[in-house]
Amino acid sequence: MNKGPTGRHSSHGSKDLVVPGDVITTDTGFMRGHGTYLDDDNLTASVAGEVERVDKLICVKPLKTRFNGEVGDVVVGRITEVQQKRWKVETNSRLDSVLLLSSVNLPGGELRRRCAEDELTMRSYLQEGDLISAEVQSVYADGALLLHTRSLKYGKLGQGVLVQISPSLIKRQKTHFHHLPCGASIILGNNGFVWLYPTPGQQDEEAGGFFTSLEPISLSDREVISRLRNCLLALSAHKVLLYDTSVLYCYEVSLSQQVKDILKPEVMEEIVMMTQQKLVEHEG
């Protein structure tokens, strides 16, 4: 199979999908990137995905993969371990991410020096099993991510619903925190963990950090969040790119159905088709 490399020129251009073992090109003038290997002068794909070409660099972006973090990504993770001066966070990547004690906002002011007592009371801030939202500060040499929550919008997550989907379905956007007009808020973590929670009142916005309210949530809020969760599952089952607009359209389209019916395969298909139609209409 001698074919030259094809690149993506526009979002509607022809996408070159390859499977492991497909020869991408026989031209030796290209540099090989991730997801490719040299097999007797042929550049061959090692993962299943689409070919991306940037000038002389060819790489294959896989369709299904663990989360490969980059600096600046917003992630939602779960604390798995409390170690000396750091926490280990599970973020659906190849290695557990690291959250240092010096990278979190301690209650009582931002610029306090970390003392030995802070180390001993780490567990009172974040325990095993807690969910947090954080940002990737840097990537270690072995691929582990270094996280930080040094902003009021990051921190421990309170009451809500977590949905785990593939990281390749989350669209990269300017902001990943959205307040949906339907009455709930969403955090689309780049690692595929999506957090749905009821929109907090005005006074809770400034709290941030580790303050989580345990007030009971009203039934209408719960229904909205359940519906959103089922919509997310429907969209991810049909491999639709997730961002605030697509989630919102899906929610609106699904209002005609009952919340639990959205999970049925026929209904799922119908809803996703209508969502895709609506997306094409509004965004051309």
Binding footprint of other proteins on the chain (CB under 8 A): 80-81, 88, 90, 93-96, 127, 129-131, 142, 158-162, 229, 260, 263-266
Q: How far is the CB of 275 from other proteins (least distance, A)?
A: 19
Q: How far is the CB of 145 from other proteins (least distance, A)?
A: 11
Q: For residue 255, how many other CB atoms are within 10 A of its CB?
A: 9
DSSP code for 114: P
- In the block, residue with structure tokens 């049909």: 238
Q: How far is the CB of 9 from other proteins (least distance, A)?
A: 33
Which segments within the chain are labelled E, that is strand?
17-18, 23-25, 31-32, 36-39, 42-45, 49-54, 57-62, 74-83, 86-90, 97-100, 131-139, 145-148, 155-156, 161-164, 177-179, 184-188, 193-198
117 or 266: CB nearest other proteins: 266
Q: How far is the CB of 254 from other proteins (least distance, A)?
A: 15
Q: How far is the CB of 212 from other proteins (least distance, A)?
A: 9
132 or 242: CB nearest other proteins: 132
263 or 273: CB nearest other proteins: 263
27 or 70: CB nearest other proteins: 70
Q: How far is the CB of 130 from other proteins (least distance, A)?
A: 5
Report how far residue 132's alpha carbon sits from residue 90's, in angstroms, rounded to the nearest whole number.
Answer: 10
Question: Interhelix angle for 219-237 vs 265-283, to 10°?
Answer: 90
Structure tokens of 85?
A: 């001066």
Collapsing DSSP to helix, strand or coil, 94 comes out as: coil
Left if phi > 0, otherwise alpha if psi is -120 to 50, otherwise beta: which for 209?
Answer: left
